[in-house]
Structure 1
Amino acid sequence: MKNTISERVADFLKKYPPFNILAEHQLQKLAYEVTIIHKENNSIVFAEKEAPHNYFYVVHKGAIALTKKGSQHILDICDEGDIFGLRPLMAHEKYKLQATAQEETILYAIPIEEFKPIALENHQVGDFLIESFASNTRNPYSIKHRGKLYGVSNDGEGTAENKLLDLQPVRYSTNLVTCTEETQIKVLANAMSLNSVGCILVTKNELPIGIITDKDLRNKVATGMVPITKNAKAIMSTPVITYSKELTITQAQMALMKSRISHLCLTEDGTTDTPAVGILSKHDVMVALGNNPSVLMRAIKRATDSKRLRTIRHSIINLLQGYLEQNIPMGLVSKIISELNDATIKQVIQVCIDQMETPPPVKFTWLAMGSQGRGEQLLTTDQDNAILYEDVPEDKKEETQSYFLALGNRISVELNHIGFEYCPAEMMASNPLWCHSLQEWKEVTSHWMGNPGPDEVLLSSIFFDFNVTYGEKALADELSLHIFENAKKYPQFLTHLASGALQNPSPSGFFRDFLVEQDGAHKDFFDLKLRALMPIIDAARVLILSHSIKSINNTAERYEKLAELEPKNQELYTACSFASKALLKFRTKQGLLHNDSGRFIALDQLNKEEKIKLKRTFKTIKEIQELIQVRFQVKNLLR
């Protein structure tokens, strides 16, 4: 007789992470051991410093508040599907917080001894619980607890750096066309033609036993060797050469060369004992190799027009999507895509210079600003750029600026052709306000820093992330030195810059609700850029500027450098580095999914796990803003 209670428990748990990735038999076994607990409003589940229970808890209905003893301040609210009370599973020590029912609540108590083997067997489960545990500590990206789940190591962002991109999994076709041994050759040939495939799989009892390709039809049927009225068995290649679906590009190349065949059959376990899940052709491997960064880089350098570069840009986006699907570390992904973007822009600039009637009159630098300058423009968004050129005599100023404005305009037009939209605020090198000599840029930045009004702070925030894409780096270095000297000369500027970093509203309100847009075109959407990314980016900028560190523009790398410079804040800065990469990855995935910038998120389209991961960054944002407020004494400016 079925246990209907345990079935209901299993049906509930499988909707939420990490239980949704458990095998059915694991989930059913665990559900049978779950204890259902009812808590009245204001009743305590466990108290601070209480000895650990033999369970951790999942909220079925209601809400649980996590607080410090004697404090009315709620540190976290756990609602339906949330996990809490992981300390006995993770740290083997007394509870650090008190858990109290905020309303009438039903909990599922998961026995640790029953769950432990599952966590050991499935690293994804272990990693999720490690992060969930850390998110209820002071630092949601704490490195203290990583890899502490009964010996389960964390295979996340850090360790994955060792993955070789040349060993990335290859994409294969899941459009399987099959037939039986008795299928007439004419019929199977028509099926191949109708489905536009180069091969057909011969199966028996749903298992692959043979394969027929275009080559077989040409060499065996078209030549008259085998009549077209015969069946599949007469021309199929057997046994089928099978490999696991986790086949890498390198392995696929080796397999095709070794067996001298054009198609591989991929199955669940790599043998003919399980059904086929896909077909991999030699063409698929060539396409995968074509999306290799080194191949794309060579193609960029050979391109001579925007049409070809636009095609390459599509390949870069495909590469980005593949990296995200393979969970390649975000730091590594940013570097690769940014290098390809920079190379693309550099090639555009070179092509445009070659098209000018005369070469540049003096040395110059093309500066990428904003997200591109930080190496965080993974999706194709709008342009933010400027030109910096050598000082010239007074009588040459107008002529020189005219040349570079014409060049800037030509470059901006070509960048638009390959997919980089024009900046709505016209912060582009084609605008006289963003095309200056070194001395003029010094005067502009000195004015911003000496008169830090809202507009000047905004312009500084965009410009000070500049990075050299093309030209004379020494010019940019001299300008950076000037900016650092002015930062010391005008200490109040850093306070105003810090104030600007605190203007973006908090990502969440009470009860952990996302703060969404209240009106306008994006009403009820969550502004990921404004409420989450910008606060953490702006804080990194003002902190790195206060240390006079140049040539580190990427937000995650800025926090890594800050962790070295300020050991006492190492934990927070490390958390900020992780959070910035997590948010960038989230935005990029959303942008690819919806074919937009990924800025505005429809919360009702996120699953529970996505919401949990997003919310984990919010505590880090709150803490870094608190540090900024205290360090730069912003309190009076915020009144």
Structure 2
Amino acid sequence: MGLSKQLQDSELFTHLPAVLFQELQQQATHRSYPPNTYIFQQDEPPTGYLYVIKEGLIEITVLSPGGVEMVVDYRKEGQFFGATPIFTDEPYSGAARTVRRTDCFLIPAQIIRKAEREYPQISEYFTRIVLSRVRHLYSEIVSDHSHKALTQMEAYPFKKRLSEIMSTPAITCRPENNTREVARRLTESAISAILVLDEGERLQGIITERDLVSKVLAPEDTNPATLTAREVMTPQVLGLPPETYMFEAMAFMTAHRLRHLPVLDRDEVVGIVTLRDLMRFRSQKAMLLVGSARQAQDFASLAAVRREIATVARTLLSETRATPDVMEILSYIHHTIIRRTFDLCLAQMKAQGQEPPDIRYCFLIMGSGGRREMLLNPDQDNGFIFEDFPDERLAEVEAFFIPFAEKLVHALDTVGYPLCSGKVMVNNPIWRGRLCDWQVRINDWVNEPEPQKVRYSSIFFDFVPMAGDGTLAQDLREIVHQQIRSFQGFLYHMMSLDLRYRVPVGLLGRFILEKSGPHKGELSVKHGGTVYIVDCIRMFALEREISEITTFDRLDALVKRNVFASETAEHIRAAFEALSFLRLRNEIANIEQGRPPSHHLNPHSLSKTEQDLLRESFNAVSKLQDATKRHFARTPF
């Protein structure tokens, strides 16, 4: 395909006269690039050209604030890249790298500027292209937020290096030491792991408490006196140098699923760091809250812990550049408080002489709590599952669980988790029952998908066990899969209801604000954005019978099953992170100003870059909605 034909087919030049195409074709040059070649790098000065792809594939990458290269876009035949400096006179905001051999037409910048003067729509279009990099905008804003927060903190934990926090010297043993000696050293030193070194002091492996339990104590035919460290150690241990920053070590350990990390100076063991060490220095307040919640003896103490979560959120948002990590930690604290509230209520029932019946039961939480995506103001979404006991025991079971349910929901309200306006709580009979009762209920939701039932199911499908017998939750998950498998049309009805509304951005990129009510002049980041991502990803996960609960885990699973391309998933992930960041920051600001936390905000109070981020994140959500509609509109039923 020639340059003229490609330009005429593009949105940018489709309405321009033929004379412009002739001039562009005369001035353009042609060049081929081999695979995996950078055409330009981020922050490099402009080359003076707009690149139009004749054949091949280009990936656009940016560096995160932590120095990690992220692919934010792909450009293919007929598309172009390298436009930013032409209109801004600034260095490249990202890099362009060939995925495979790529041929490009190079159009001189002066020709584009001349065309822009005569046809202003060109610069308007390029402005939209520049603003489409959600991940880059998000990284830039979060980096700026973290930098500003540093000035308000006495110490910045992520500035610490491993040499400052590691345990040294590390406790070690030899490969030939028996496991009884290894266990003795662990006990005497009050540590959870020991490093195995050979006679040359070279690291050979690591033994953890878990290794001793699973490989020495659990098997019936082992002898700790004769079993050696070499036989139970984990070999090929990964380590990092002492000058590594904490945030780098945290990312490394998370990526490799490590709980213990040797610190190596030119292959010499100089110390060891645990994940607990990193978490302690990273979020001391968060860990203290968890400890306080577990030790609380009354609801007032739990309420005091609950009120401190906003302070922790503010610190976490300053310490880390990953909003999902913040949601994970906040959810962990919320879960700890909720579980302790459950335990206190159960203890009170027993103290009053009311013992639970001898049946298996499970307390569930649902919605954002189930997905571990809780922020600062979650309400209650909970339920009970019971094993399939006979009908004649129903009165006995209800005699305990009805008053227990009432006590529990009101205790949670006292602690700081408001009653659900839709009454999705255990004191509502439709949110508790035997497995057989749940099966009937879910069958009704799936086969008679009225709007209210679909709304119920959207909350319910994100359930996780919080207390009791978790195997009941596994059984319930299988019931959900069976029911949806039997009537795939349910997902079509779920899509039709959930996606009736669009994101709050108009055709010209203007924000659509609420016109009346308490949030007049504002929009909802939740109801206008994140809820659609959660709902769409959930629908695909239900279709594929994916058991993961968090939105990101579901997204990863969908990529592995080739439902989404990795680049598509990255755009969805970036939009979800960006919207969650803006929402959490807004909730923190509301609390600090004496107002209740809210997912509503005035977009015009944001900076221009933040407005661009919000707008482009909504656009990414809109594309996901369209893809979901196209997919489930084809569902056979």
Shift of 1:467: 1.4
Preserved contact between residue 401 and residue 435 of structure 1 (Cα < 8 Å): no
Shift of 1:316: 2.8
Map 1:72-87; keep pairs closer than 5 Å: none
Preserved contact between residue 330 and residue 585 of structure 1 (Cα < 8 Å): yes
Q: In the superposition, relative to structure 1, how do residues 569 and 89 fare at CA in structure 2: closer, same or farther (>3 Å)?
A: closer
Structure 2 counterpart of 1:343, which letter? T
After superposition, the CA RMSD in angstroms is 4.7
Q: 2:551 aligns with which of 549, 555, 563?
A: 555
Is residue 304 from structure 1 mapped to residue 336 from structure 2 by the alignment?
Answer: no
Residue equivalent to 1:383: 380
Aligned partner of residue 512 in structure 1, secondary structure: coil
Preserved contact between residue 488 and residue 635 of structure 2 (Cα < 8 Å): no
Shift of 1:399: 3.2
Q: In the superposition, relative to structure 1, how do residues 468 and 54 fare at CA in structure 2: closer, same or farther (>3 Å)?
A: same
Structure 1, 449-458 or 499-508: larger mean CA deviation = 499-508
Residue equivalent to 2:475: 478
Shift of 1:291: 4.0
Structure 1 counterpart of 2:408, which letter? I
Q: In the superposition, relative to structure 1, how do residues 448 and 634 fare at CA in structure 2: closer, same or farther (>3 Å)?
A: same
Partners of 2:445 and 2:93 in 1: CA distance = 54
Residue equivalent to 1:91: 96
Residue equivalent to 2:516: 519
Q: TM-score, normalised by structure 1?
A: 0.59
Residue equivalent to 1:30: none
Partners of 1:292 and 1:249 in 2: CA distance = 20
Deviations 1:556-613 (A, max 9, x none): 2211221111165222122212221221121111011112343211123111121112
Structure 1, 594-603 or 423-432: larger mean CA deviation = 594-603
Structure 2 counterpart of 1:499, which letter? S
Residue equivalent to 1:566: 562
Partners of 2:156 and 2:391 in 1: CA distance = 70
Partners of 2:449 and 2:636 in 1: CA distance = 16
Structure 2 counterpart of 1:455, which letter? Q
Residue equivalent to 1:414: 411
Q: In the superposition, relative to structure 1, how do residues 363 and 171 fare at CA in structure 2: closer, same or farther (>3 Å)?
A: farther
Q: In the superposition, relative to structure 1, how do residues 606 and 553 fare at CA in structure 2: closer, same or farther (>3 Å)?
A: same
Q: In the superposition, relative to structure 1, how do residues 618 and 155 fare at CA in structure 2: closer, same or farther (>3 Å)?
A: closer
Residue equivalent to 1:34: none
Residue equivalent to 1:344: 337
Shift of 1:95: 7.8
Shift of 1:622: 2.0
Q: 1:54 aligns with which of 48, 51, 58?
A: 48
Is residue 295 from structure 1 mapped to residue 288 from structure 2 by the alignment?
Answer: yes
Runs of at least 5 residues in structure 2 that lack an aligned partner in the other structure: 1-14, 30-45, 51-74, 98-103, 167-279
Residue equivalent to 1:618: 618
Q: In the superposition, relative to structure 1, how do residues 88 and 508 fare at CA in structure 2: closer, same or farther (>3 Å)?
A: closer
Runs of at least 5 residues in structure 1 that lack an aligned partner in the other structure: 1-40, 57-67, 109-128, 147-153, 174-242, 255-286
Q: 2:433 aligns with which of 436, 443, 447?
A: 436
Aligned partner of residue 510 in structure 1, secondary structure: coil
Aligned partner of residue 517 in structure 1, secondary structure: coil
Shift of 1:394: 1.1
Shift of 1:157: 9.1
Shift of 1:289: 9.0
Structure 1 counterpart of 2:552, which letter? A
Structure 1, 528-537 or 312-321: larger mean CA deviation = 312-321
Q: In the superposition, relative to structure 1, how do residues 245 and 530 fare at CA in structure 2: closer, same or farther (>3 Å)?
A: closer
Shift of 1:414: 1.3
Map 1:265-344; keep pairs closer than 5 Å: 291-344=284-337
Q: In the superposition, relative to structure 1, how do residues 249 and 363 fare at CA in structure 2: closer, same or farther (>3 Å)?
A: farther
Aligned partner of residue 91 in structure 1, secondary structure: strand
Is residue 576 from structure 1 mapped to residue 568 from structure 2 by the alignment?
Answer: no
Residue equivalent to 1:455: 452
Shift of 1:464: 0.7
Aligned partner of residue 545 in structure 2, secondary structure: coil
Q: 1:404 aligns with which of 401, 405, 413?
A: 401
Map 1:130-529; keep pairs closer than 5 Å: 135-136=131-132, 140-141=134-135, 172=153, 291-356=284-349, 357-361=353-357, 362-529=359-526
Shift of 1:250: 9.7
Preserved contact between residue 629 and residue 635 of structure 1 (Cα < 8 Å): no
Residue equivalent to 1:630: 630
Partners of 2:89 and 2:529 in 1: CA distance = 24
Preserved contact between residue 412 and residue 430 of structure 1 (Cα < 8 Å): yes
Q: Percent identity?
A: 22
Preserved contact between residue 556 and residue 581 of structure 1 (Cα < 8 Å): no
Structure 2 counterpart of 1:326, which letter? E
Aligned partner of residue 565 in structure 2, secondary structure: helix
Q: In the superposition, relative to structure 1, how do residues 394 and 134 fare at CA in structure 2: closer, same or farther (>3 Å)?
A: farther
Aligned partner of residue 378 in structure 1, secondary structure: coil
Aligned partner of residue 376 in structure 2, secondary structure: coil
Q: In the superposition, relative to structure 1, how do residues 516 and 329 fare at CA in structure 2: closer, same or farther (>3 Å)?
A: same
Aligned partner of residue 470 in structure 1, secondary structure: strand
Structure 2 counterpart of 1:91, which letter? A
Preserved contact between residue 519 and residue 600 of structure 2 (Cα < 8 Å): yes
Shift of 1:480: 0.7
Q: In the superposition, relative to structure 1, how do residues 483 and 157 fare at CA in structure 2: closer, same or farther (>3 Å)?
A: farther
Map 1:2-13; keep pairs closer than 5 Å: none
Q: In the superposition, relative to structure 1, how do residues 626 and 604 fare at CA in structure 2: closer, same or farther (>3 Å)?
A: closer
Shift of 1:548: 0.4
Preserved contact between residue 364 and residue 387 of structure 1 (Cα < 8 Å): yes
Aligned residue-pair number: 438
Preserved contact between residue 360 and residue 469 of structure 2 (Cα < 8 Å): yes
Q: TM-score, normalised by structure 2?
A: 0.60
Partners of 1:50 and 1:86 in 2: CA distance = 22
Partners of 1:544 and 1:493 in 2: CA distance = 14
Preserved contact between residue 169 and residue 247 of structure 1 (Cα < 8 Å): no
Partners of 2:283 and 2:93 in 1: CA distance = 50
